[in-house]
Structure 1
Amino acid sequence: MIKSIISPFSILLLCSLFLCTCDSAPGKDEEKSAGINDVEIPELLPRPAALQNAMEWDRTQSGYMQLASDLRLKDAKAIKPRVTLAQIFVNEARVTGEHGHYYPAALKMVNEALDLNRGKDTNLEFLALSTKAGVQLSQHEFKEALQTANRAIEINPHNAQIYGALVDVNVELGRYDEAVAAADKMVKIRPDLRSYSRVSYLREIHGDVVGAKEAMISAVKAGAPGYESSAWARLTLGELYQRYGDEEAAKKQFEIILRERPNYPFAIAALGQLELDKGNYPEAEMLVQEAADIIPEVGYYIQLAEIYKQTNQKEKTEKIEDEIFVMLQDDVDSGHNMDLEYAALYRDHFEDYDKAIVYAEREYKKRPENIDVSRMMASLYLKKGMADTAAPYIKAAGTTDSKHPEYLAMLGK
């Protein structure tokens, strides 16, 4: 594994030439006289120390510096560097958990690219639209993402990546037949980690748990060990095992991830969840805190809040609850729809089912055909002892023949 170290000289060069946010950057008049274009480029944040050894970090930094240089020193109206910067920001949001910084940064770059291009170069228009659709998906703006993805498809109906976006957005909107059709096209164009993982998800949705595991194993095998995308696929495989009761198989997958990509926080937190489920609170706290020390992922804080609650650590519980609300609001302020996350928090941690219903109903109005949202609604009314009210939501949650354990429990199976 390549070890990434940012030298003081690299930082100095980055600040003096490329970043408009550095104190040492020249003023606008000095930039003009020096032949430096006045282009506002969002910052590439330093990764936490535990993530700086990841094999792609060197390439990410050098790519960012080169693209910023191209815009500042060559062509201020260049389109492709903006799209590539947006893609870098999307990946960093996923790796570091800094959603509030990176998703608005990605949208800024890709919207500028679309404004500058205005359809003149169809290849760049497609690249910008497909990138934008991915950002909108990440921010849970599903209807907008569908519109953007369809615009991209009109330009290039032969690209596997954009069909991946169509799979994701149709799943989120509960349009499962359309999602299957998009997945079929995707896997025919390019059978790889991304297409196999979507086949897996759709199989699980339709109750084929064995087939879902098989497809995710294919996704894992298609990836290169150590890369974030491969770690994410194996994490999803582990979560499949965990969800359907095979904790030992899940643990094995999480441990493999950490051998291939040390300090991967999602795998560390997943191991912590296994310990939490067993009631082994000291080990769970140690693991989840380790993950939270690497990246500020709100899910880790929610796990810690549950650990503190179960172990009667009242002061710690109240403190971290306040932090959770700040983090959720930060996501909302950056354009991220968090209604379902609020609903889950109020249901599972606070056991305030009335507040949870407020958020869940808001999400249900946006995507009433999604089985996960229907299952959430059903669970809340069952918690309140309102079985008759829950009944239509239970029915809706089973339209795809899902075998999700929570749904089966609602049926008494």
Structure 2
Amino acid sequence: RAMGGEWLNTKSAIQGLLAKLRQNPKDHQSQLLLALAYIQEGRVTGNHAYYDGAAMQLLDNVLAAQPENFDALCSKASLHLTQHHFSQGLAVAQKAVKINPNNAFVYGVLCDANVELGKYDEAVKMADKMNQVRPDLRAYARVSYLREIHGDVTGAQQAMSMAVGAGYIGLEQTEWARVQLGQLYENTGDLARAEAIYQQSLTLRPHYAYALAGLGRIAAARQDYPKAIQYLQQARATVKDYAFADELADLYRLNKQPAASRKMAQEAIAQLSNDATEADNNEQMGHYADRELAYAYLKTKYLDKALKHA
């Protein structure tokens, strides 16, 4: 399995928590822990539709009984951001920070929400607060992202390198940060450095989808499209991320495979459309995917639909 021992440990924890809840359905601490496990499963597998929905239901159960449960509020806010419900996430995080203003995680959520809503000055303040409370992988990664937004690429690389150094080697969060570091070098044209970082990530976390995708982009930049397609196919087989289908559509087109390109673009649209429909029908869940759908429809020449989603 690409997930390795970490995945098996999470699965084991889930089974244990489910057993506790069968004995006591009102065990709110087990509900919270199970929600956290589901959120991590969604992140690792890419199956957000299932795991995020289950996690949100558990968190709402906890908050119905304990409206000021700080951990449940933070988790719910973070889950809203995963689904691109940025305003809702910000509102829940603002409620949480009033309950506990001395927690680093909540400032990270506030930073992310403000970034996504274009409130960059406020995002910087929240990142500073986060680093004052607890400078760690998550705090350094946010500093890196904000520096990149403001055009300080060298500073972004330094901060993301600190994020990697602060994490446990091979864990998903650490290798996510390592891949982000590789992408910062990739974006500046240092393909050799980026490739080495992606290879290192694959060594430390075999079959890691986002490292495979990084190597695919490096191969594409060198116009080795068959090799790039192979890497992206491997990534897509591991994690359900629409972006891999979207990238494959581009690669097939570049490799003079128009039929395969159209098919892959249609698969990306189908995946995004399901998420968007759920978001329209449920204010609490479902991934808002209009921006991604607008670009996907542009690629397939459905201009009216692209304009609608834009």
1:96 equivalenced with 2:40 (yes/no) = no
Percent identical residues: 41
- 1:50 maps to what in 2? 2
1:308 partner letter:
Y
Which runs of 5 or more structure 1 residues have no equivalent in the other structure? 1-48, 120-124, 361-413
Higher helix share: 2
1:358 equivalenced with 2:302 (yes/no) = no
Q: Tell me, in whole angstroms, the C-alpha distance in 2 between the residues paired with 1:344 and 1:222.
A: 36
Q: Tell me, in whole angstroms, the C-alpha distance in 2 between the residues paired with 1:56 and 1:205.
A: 32
Alpha-carbon contact 1:100-1:330 (below 8 Å) kept: no
Q: Tell me, in whole angstroms, the C-alpha distance in 2 between the residues paired with 1:275 and 1:354.
A: 34
Deviation digits for residues 225-245 of structure 1, max 9, x if unmatched? Answer: 110000000011111111122
- 1:344 maps to what in 2? 295
Alpha-carbon contact 1:77-1:116 (below 8 Å) kept: no
- 1:313 maps to what in 2? 257
Q: Tell me, in whole angstroms, the C-alpha distance in 2 between the residues paired with 1:62 and 1:296.
A: 22
1:137 equivalenced with 2:87 (yes/no) = no
- 1:115 maps to what in 2? 64
- 1:209 maps to what in 2? 153
- 1:275 maps to what in 2? 219
SS class of match (1:312): coil
C-alpha distance 242-199 of structure 1, shift in aligned 2 (>3 A): same
SS class of match (1:199): helix
Q: How many residues align?
A: 303
Alpha-carbon contact 1:71-1:78 (below 8 Å) kept: yes
Alpha-carbon contact 1:271-1:287 (below 8 Å) kept: yes
SS class of match (2:2): helix
TM-score (norm 2): 0.93
Alpha-carbon contact 2:220-2:251 (below 8 Å) kept: yes
Which runs of 5 or more structure 2 residues have no equivalent in the other structure? 279-285
**Counterpart pick for 1:165 among 97, 109, 128:** 109
TM-score (norm 1): 0.71
Alpha-carbon contact 2:269-2:296 (below 8 Å) kept: no
Alpha-carbon contact 1:187-1:195 (below 8 Å) kept: yes
Q: Tell me, in whole angstroms, the C-alpha distance in 2 between the residues paired with 1:355 and 1:273.
A: 28
Aligned-residue offset at 1:351: 5.8
Alpha-carbon contact 1:305-1:321 (below 8 Å) kept: yes
- 1:81 maps to what in 2? 30
- RMSD of aligned alpha carbons: 1.5
Aligned-residue offset at 1:352: 5.9
**Counterpart pick for 2:190 among 246, 268, 274:** 246
Deviation digits for residues 337-376 of structure 1, max 9, x if unmatched? Answer: 00121133244x336666444333xxxxxxxxxxxxxxxx
C-alpha distance 281-321 of structure 1, shift in aligned 2 (>3 A): same
Computing the radius of gyration from Cα coordinates, the structure with the larger value is: 1
